Amino acid sequence: MGWKEAAEPVLTRMPAVRRPEGHVPFKRKLMWTAGILMLYFFLTNVSLLGLQTGQSEDLFGQFRAILAGGQGTVLQVGIGPIVTASIVLQLLGGANLLGLDTDDPRDQVLYQGLQKLLVVLMVILTGLPMVFAGGFLPAQSQLQLGGLILGQTQVQVLMFAQIFVGGILILYMDEVVSKWGVGSGIGLFIIAGVSQSLVTGFIQPTSGGFFFDWYRILTGKVEIGSIVSGEGLQNLLLNQGHIIPLLTTLLIFGIVVYAESVRVEIPLSHARVKGARGRFPVKLIYASVLPMILVRAVQANVQFLGQILSSTGQSPGGAITVLGRELSWLGVYSNGQPISGFFYYVAPIYSRSDWTWWTANVSQDAWQVLIRIGIDVTFMVVGGAIFAIFWVETTDMGPESTAQQIQNSGMQIPGFRQNVGVIEKVMERYIPQVTVIGGALVGLLAVWANMLGTIGGVSGTGLLLAVSITYKLYEEIAEEQMMEMHPMMRQMFGNE
């Protein structure tokens, strides 16, 4: 008996959101999407019962814009478990260790059940250390619920139960949007978090808000210094003026929108209907920006491990200790952040203050900072290309799957025989190369945006994801409206 036969009784019984039996009207899809979005915002404002207020430390830190959720709330783990489970499945599937054929309906059910089971395990593995190790989510020593008084351990169990329920809720919220709404839940949650940070960065009525700071500059309430000496210019560009973060934000918007429009169009014609022609677009960002979530999730998990190790054992000098042995090469921490060792060098560049070694913000030498930048750029470029390839293969966007889809639609490439193998060879000229180039380009853009900074302190990857997902959401809404106006289109594309 193979693993599939042994696990089938469990995997096939995993709860699932029922698929719609027929066409879902566009307005109803919008209602489902808006409802889930409102529920998401509501849950990110529900604090964990039993948490000591103002003393929690966000383990995800700068990754929060990508992993969504909210620190100290029911959605503490965000979409992290879903992303981590996807990485594990992609790696196992890429190595052909699962033996699952996603074209087989039975294997599709097993794959979806296995993914949900992995998400549940990841919620447990992520939530347990947050509550019970290191004091990242410190629990109250006592909590009174009606006539019941809970001790600290019982409060911790209650907090973990809330995190677990939140992790499962966000899993099924994503599934509801994917089946009954527009786009995907993961993309929707990322847009929500990034948009909130961007809007706050522009309009917050305190120091750090773009419009508020410029109001104080123009009214003379803030002295920016002399332009001639360079102090005023630096304040205008980087500090109070936020000019470079504003330009970086606008450039990221422009570059992503432009890259989404750059494509190689392969001409198609219908084999039986004369005059019926079309084009298959191979976009520059063919795999979309979503593989960047997987790359950053790997980095987030590495940093999460470092935080756990530093909290469970640390020498007076801040070095990680394991079994009483000081391992300074592994990492030295100060105020919860790595300042040297392995975990420092593999930490992503979050902002300008992480790499400007000539300022007082950076205590490391220039060569240490340059090594960290080099590792971050290499990891993002190479990782972006690798995960883009995995993404294309696992989402049926590869040359073989695309050729089969074109063949099934009755289309062919003019000048070539109507054969799946022939179409696949033509697709192999474009798809693999464009996938690698697009994935590497997105990784480079993400590091560049982080190094220069953006409005609202949004990470480069988060901004890239938000712009790309919003653009694709716009395209999907336009397609839905077209099919709503022309029902025959739904039949042609098999959506009826």
Q: Which of 162-166, 394-398, 401-405, 462-466 has the lowest mean pLDDT?
A: 394-398
What's the average model confidence in pLDDT over 242-260?
85
Give the CA count within 13 Å in the CB-facing half-sphere of 354.
24
Verify that 407 and 267 share a domain, yes or no: yes
CB within 8 A of 485, min separation 6: which ones? none
- Is residue 417 one of the residues assigned to a domain? yes
pLDDT tens column, 118-134: 999 999 998 888 888 76
pLDDT tens column, 34-83: 999 999 999 988 999 888 876 666 666 667 777 788 888 899 888 889 88
What per-residue confidence (pLDDT) applies to 324? 80
**Where does the pLDDT of residue 273 fall: very low under 50, low under 70, confident under 90, or very high at 90 and above?**
low
- Burial (0-12, 13-18, 19+ Cβ within 10 Å), 219: exposed
Comparing 80 with 460, which gets the higher pLDDT?
Answer: 80
Verify that 171 and 265 share a domain, yes or no: no
Verify that 177 and 255 share a domain, yes or no: no
Verify that 176 and 250 share a domain, yes or no: no
Verify that 164 and 308 share a domain, yes or no: no
Domain count, the chain: 2
- Is residue 21 one of the residues assigned to a domain? no
Verify that 404 and 279 share a domain, yes or no: yes
Percent of the chain surpassing pLDDT 70 = 90
- Is residue 92 one of the residues assigned to a domain? yes
Comparing 470 with 104, which gets the higher pLDDT?
Answer: 470
CATH number of the domain that residue 467 is part of: 1.10.3370.10
**Where does the pLDDT of residue 473 fall: very low under 50, low under 70, confident under 90, or very high at 90 and above?**
confident
Comparing 352 with 41, which gets the higher pLDDT?
Answer: 41
Looking at residue 414, its amino acid is: P
**Where does the pLDDT of residue 475 fall: very low under 50, low under 70, confident under 90, or very high at 90 and above?**
confident
**Could you say which of 150, 182, 214 is where a domain stops?**
182
Range with top average pLDDT, 310-319, 379-388, 422-431: 379-388
CB within 8 A of 448, min separation 6: which ones? 248, 460
Q: Residue 494: pLDDT above 60? A: no
Verify that 245 and 174 share a domain, yes or no: no
- Is residue 356 one of the residues assigned to a domain? yes
Which range of residues forms the domain containing residue 272? Answer: 241-496
- The dihedral over CA atoms of 337, 340, 341, 347, expressed in degrees to the nearest 10, equals 50
**Could you say which of 153, 182, 211 is where a domain stops?**
182
Verify that 67 and 136 share a domain, yes or no: yes
Distance CA 345, CA 365 (A): 12
Verify that 127 and 259 share a domain, yes or no: no
Verify that 248 and 143 share a domain, yes or no: no
Verify that 335 and 462 share a domain, yes or no: yes
- Is residue 422 one of the residues assigned to a domain? yes
**Closest CA relative to residue 331, chosen from 350, 310, 302, 305:** 310
Q: Residue 493: pLDDT above 50? A: no
What per-residue confidence (pLDDT) applies to 134? 61
What's the average model confidence in pLDDT over 94-110?
75
- Is residue 269 one of the residues assigned to a domain? yes
Q: Residue 221: pLDDT above 90? A: no
- Is residue 107 one of the residues assigned to a domain? yes
Verify that 263 and 173 share a domain, yes or no: no
Comparing 484 with 245, which gets the higher pLDDT?
Answer: 245
What per-residue confidence (pLDDT) applies to 408? 78
- Is residue 236 one of the residues assigned to a domain? no
**Closest CA relative to residue 473, chosen from 462, 483, 481:** 481
